[in-house]
Structures are given as C-alpha cells and as structure tokens.
C-alpha cells in the first residue's frame, strides 16, 4: 500500500479524509502543519494531502516549504475555500492537483490515482510511437535502448549497433545523427558488404586522378563527404582484414590519404557502425581484428529481434497498414485472429519482413478486414503456439506460464495501443510492476 500523510488542523476533517483514503492507502494524519512538514521531510511518503486554510501556516506555505527542501512526492491540495485563482496558485507552487470540497470518497480516490499514475509515468521512459524519427515501439528493452541512443547521440563516441537483419539498425543510426549536434551536417552511409573489397578503399578514402584505370578525376571518399557529420558503416563484419587495418589507422590517428595520393587528410566524421554478425565470434575466429572491434565498440546498442517484442509486432503491423493505405481508400483493418497469428510467427527477417508482408497484403487484399486466410501459409503454419501447446498437449509448467505471460502482456499493450500506463490499468497493476513483468515476459523466449 502507498503511504499518504494528510495535514489539516481540524481533527473532524482529518478523520473524514482518513476514512475516505484508508481503502487504498496507509494513512497518517497530522493536525499541525509545522510538525507535518518535518514528518514529511523525514519519512518521505508517496503522497501528501494538505488543506488550504490553517491557523499555524496555510497550505500554500506547506507546499512552498516542501518543494524548497527538494521533496519530489506529489502534493494534492483540498479546500472548501479560496477563489478562482486558488487552484492556479497551488499548481504554480508545485501541487499536482487541487480538489474542491465537498468531495465523495470514490471521486477523491480516482483523482489521487490519476496523480500517482502521472507521477510514475514521469519516472519512466514514455512509449514511443511514430515519433518524427519514425521509430515505433512500446517494448521496454527498445525504450531503454532509445534512451541510451539519445544520450550517446550528444557525444562524439563511436557507436556499434548490433542486431539481426531488419531490426532497425539503420533507422537507429539515422536517429542518432538527427539527435546529435551534427544533425545539420551530412549523414553518409556505406554498406561494406555491397561494395567489392578492392573498391572499398577508394569508396571510403577517395582517390586522386589517375590513381587506377578509370580514375579520371579526383574523387572525395565517404570519410570526406561525411566531414563534421556521421559516417554510418553498415555490415562492418563483412570488411576484409586488409581493409580493417586501414580503418584502424583512421580510427587511431584520425587521418588517412586518398588512394594514389600522399596528402594527409583529417577525418572529422563520427563513426556509427552496424552488423548483424556476432563480431565477438568473428574476433575469436581471427576474422575481425580485436583492436578494431574495441575501437568501434565504445557504446553498444543491441537491438532485440522482433519475435522478442511481440507488442511491437502488433503496433508496427497497424503502423504499416496505415502507411500503405491507398490514398482515397478507407483504411483497412487486421482482424484480432490474424493479429494473434502475426504475434506468434518468429519473423526471421524482423521488421523489414513485417513491413513487406503488410505492404503486400494492403495491395492484394480487397476486403476491408485482413483476416487469417489472407496470411501466407508459412506464417499461418508456424504461428500455432498456444500456452497449452497444440491440441492441448501438456508442456512443462514453467514454459506454459512464460508463454502465457508473454501473450498476456502483448495483448494488454496492444489493446492500450502501446500506452504502458493504460495497459497497466487494464491489467490491474501499477505501472512500475507492469513494466517489470512485461520486460521479464519478453526476455524469456
């Protein structure tokens, strides 16, 4: 139970408020505001309720003193007095809500519940859907990663983004650039797997005129193009050992020369690298230089695969459906049954695979509602997991419970359209408990 301290100098009113709150709170009352302030500073309750008019010191002064000594808990003012400016003054001083008397117990409890939820929501990262950066997620692990990405964006540290194909590594790299102080400078991407190894050096460092057959003029490399901005090296795990040692030199000293040239160039680009390979394993197998790995791996963001964030499957499916809706047509909908099937499919190609499937479905399905039969066979066939296994077959209890929790939290977050506070309310939990259990449910695969 949450602790609340109530301050008012009239014992009858104190006992009236106590009897209203005791259903949901452990209530302590205090009839002296001076003593009340001392008590609150010492015991730091979860919530404070204070009235306005008191002889020793008024409620405004109580709020002022508590806020000036750094108290963070929400403070709610209740009063039968005051004029139109009183709520505004209470809020200005830092009260979380102002309630006029008379008030019924249910209404008072509902108002305090809202205050506590707001307090918890502020203490947690908010779910992010379709922000300007285009990242849609309500997954706790992704939300923590995004927070870290935003913090790291404002430094010049190198960032290594790991994750299976299609998990959103490039999207995160672009977001990091956009949130960094380099956002007005270029974001340059190089896919190390897509360029022939013998051409990668000139692609990255540029070349001088006549340095090889076909080099008809000087060409700036990607390092130079990304000056002051961000150089995104995608699929870094595909780089040859020879190229890796050239990269290492730039990362160590910050300088390089164009192919065929001898003039020293200085790189001012910030490096963000990504790979879907296990770089550490490549290092152990001698296929990736350990010194380069440690130079790149200053901040690491490991994106979870889509199958480990089932609520995102549902949110993203709807996002893409809206995105691919043909202009002028009424928006299509995915049936609940079809969404359940999508949530159970393992998505080896992650978000990209989901995006392509929804694009295809929105073109091919003429009906307003996309139902299970419209889904491809391979999706329907692999998505048959239920908490009790197929045809009621008994599976180990721990496994069934983990599976049930995963589906339960997915469904709650989906129903609340990614709003974790609302999902917690549906589940009858407080937000922090919901957040913890939801996170745990996605960790067990």
Residues that bind ligand ATP (CB under 6 A): 134-137, 163, 165-171, 234, 276, 316, 351-352, 355
Q: Which residue is nearest to ligand ATP (CB)?
A: 168
Q: Which is nearer to ligand ATP, 8 or 234 (CB)?
A: 234
Q: Which is nearer to ligand ATP, 37 or 136 (CB)?
A: 136
Q: Which is nearer to ligand ATP, 165 or 415 (CB)?
A: 165
Q: Strand 255-257 to strand 264-266: parallel, antiparallel, or no bridges (unpaired)?
A: antiparallel
Tokens at 17, concatenated: 């408020």
C-alpha to C-alpha distance for 26 and 86, rounded to whole angstroms: 28
Q: Which is nearer to ligand ATP, 25 or 345 (CB)?
A: 345
Closest separation between CB of residue 201 and ligand ATP, Å? 22
Of 1, 190, 23, 45, the residue nearest 108 (C-alpha): 23
Q: Which is nearer to ligand ATP, 167 or 230 (CB)?
A: 167
Closest separation between CB of residue 176 and ligand ATP, Å? 12
Closest separation between CB of residue 426 and ligand ATP, Å? 23
Q: Which is nearer to ligand ATP, 167 or 180 (CB)?
A: 167
Q: Which is nearer to ligand ATP, 63 or 379 (CB)?
A: 379
Closest separation between CB of residue 235 and ligand ATP, Å? 7
Closest separation between CB of residue 203 and ligand ATP, Å? 17
Closest separation between CB of residue 325 and ligand ATP, Å? 16
Closest separation between CB of residue 232 and ligand ATP, Å? 9
CA distances from 372 to 276, 308, 355, 384, 417 (A): 31, 22, 17, 12, 21
């Amino acid at each position: 139970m949450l602790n609340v301290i109530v301050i008012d100098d009239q014992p009858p009113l104190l006992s009236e408020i106590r009897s209203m709150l005791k259903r949901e709170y452990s209530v302590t009352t205090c009839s002296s505001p001076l003593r009340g302030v001392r008590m609150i500073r010492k015991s730091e309750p979860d919530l404070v309720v204070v009235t306005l008019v008191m002889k020793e010191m008024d409620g405004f002064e109580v709020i002022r003193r508590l806020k000036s000594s750094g108290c963070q808990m929400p403070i709610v003012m209740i009063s039968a007095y005051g004029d139109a400016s009183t709520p505004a003054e209470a809020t200005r001083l830092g009260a979380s809500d102002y309630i006029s008397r008379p008030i019924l117990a249910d209404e008072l409890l509902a108002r305090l519940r809202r205050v506590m939820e707001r307090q918890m929501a502020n203490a947690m990262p908010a779910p992010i859907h379709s922000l300007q950066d285009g990242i849609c997620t309500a997954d706790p692990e992704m939300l923590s990663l995004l927070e870290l990405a935003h913090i790291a964006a404002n430094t010049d540290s190198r960032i290594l983004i790991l994750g299976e194909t299609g998990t959103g590594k490039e999207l995160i790299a672009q977001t990091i650039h956009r949130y960094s102080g380099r956002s007005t400078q270029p974001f340059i991407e190089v896919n190390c797997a897509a360029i022939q190894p013998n051409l990668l050096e000139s692609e990255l460092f540029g070349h001088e005129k006549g340095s090889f057959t076909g080099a008809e003029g000087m060409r700036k490399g990607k390092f130079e193009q990304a000056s002051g901005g961000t150089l995104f090296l995608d699929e870094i795990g595909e780089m040859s050992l020879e190229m890796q040692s050239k990269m290492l030199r730039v990362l160590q000293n910050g300088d390089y020369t164009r192919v065929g040239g001898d003039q020293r160039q200085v790189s001012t680009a910030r490096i963000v690298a990504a790979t879907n390979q296990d770089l550490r394993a490549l290092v152990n197998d001698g296929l990736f230089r350990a010194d380069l790995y440690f130079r790149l791996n200053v901040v690491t963001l490991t994106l979870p695969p889509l199958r480990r964030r089932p609520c995102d499957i549902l949110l993203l499916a709807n996002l893409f459906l809206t995105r691919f809706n043909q202009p002028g047509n009424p928006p299509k909908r995915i049936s609940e049954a079809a969404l359940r099937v999508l949530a159970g499919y393992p998505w080896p190609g992650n978000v990209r695979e989901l995006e392509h499937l929804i694009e295809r479905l929105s073109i091919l399905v003429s009906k307003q509602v996309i139902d299970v039969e419209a889904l491809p066979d391979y999706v329907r066939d692999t998505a048959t997991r239920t908490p009790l296994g197929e045809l009621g077959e008994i599976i180990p209890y721990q496994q069934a419970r983990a599976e049930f929790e995963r589906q339960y939290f997915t469904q709650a977050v989906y129903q609340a359209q990614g709003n974790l506070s609302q999902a917690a309310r549906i589940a009858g939990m407080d937000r922090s408990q919901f957040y913890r259990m939801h996170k745990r449910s996605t960790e067990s695969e």
